[in-house]
């Protein structure tokens, strides 16, 4: 949690440092031009991906059927929308991450990496950690040939 807080705090500072370095290296005009071009590209791609992402939900009956399956079908459009929002934000690092999320081949790499990070450590762990014995409680009913229940 502390690392996430530090990254959230240091990321804008890092972006501002890179922008000032770019201004000193390339000048105001080229830096402003890069920010403006990526802003326009981000807005255009957001509008394009938003319409294709929400086409599935255009009918009222489809909104009720919203599930993880419908989201998984549209995950590449969703990642492209997030990438276009990152393009709208000024800064070189956010632009690079935004471009990675827009292209289809880097989206699949990003999804595989995200699944590796989000994968639980142990699938075989039981829900009840305190009860690790082999005894299973339950009731046994013996049905004889006349379909009567004997306890």
Segments making up each domain of the chain, as ranges: 2-121
More confidently predicted of 75 and 90: 90
26-78 confidence digits (pLDDT tens): 899 998 999 899 999 999 988 887 777 666 555 555 555 555 555 555 677 77
Q: Which of 1-5, 92-96, 112-116 has the highest mean pLDDT?
A: 92-96
Instruction: Tell me the DSSP string of the chain.
Output: -HHHHHHHHHHHHHHHHHHHHHHHHH-HHHHHHHHHHHHHHHHHHHHHHHHHHHTTTSSHHHHHT--HHHHHHTHHHHHHHHHHHHHHSSSHHHHHHHHHHHSHHHHHHHHHHHHHHHS-S-TT--S-TT--SS-------EE-TT--EE-
Instruction: Please say whether the beta carbons of 49 and 80 come within 8 A.
Output: yes
User: In this model, does residue 23 exceed pLDDT 80?
Assistant: yes
d(Cα 53, Cα 142) in Å, to the nearest integer?
Answer: 56
Give the confidence band of 133 by pLDDT, cuts at 50, 70, 90: low
Mean pLDDT over residues 112-137, rounded?
63
Q: Which two tokens stand for residue 42?
A: 């981000």
């Amino acid at each position: 949690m502390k690392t996430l807080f530090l990254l959230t705090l240091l990321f804008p500072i890092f972006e501002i440092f890179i922008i000032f370095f770019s201004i000193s290296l390339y000048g105001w005009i080229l830096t402003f031009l890069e920010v403006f071009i990526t802003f326009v590209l981000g807005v255009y791609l957001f509008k394009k991906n938003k319409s294709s992402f929400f086409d599935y939900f255009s009918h009222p009956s489809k909104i009720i059927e919203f599930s993880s399956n419908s989201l998984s079908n549209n995950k590449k459009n969703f990642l492209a929308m997030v990438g276009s929002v990152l393009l709208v934000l000024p800064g070189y690092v956010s632009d690079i991450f935004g471009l990675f999320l827009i292209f289809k081949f880097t989206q699949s790499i990003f999804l595989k990496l995200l699944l590796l990070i989000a994968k639980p450590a142990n699938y075989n762990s039981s829900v009840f950690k305190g009860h690790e014995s082999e005894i299973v409680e339950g009731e046994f009913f013996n049905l004889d040939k006349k379909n009567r229940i004997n306890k």
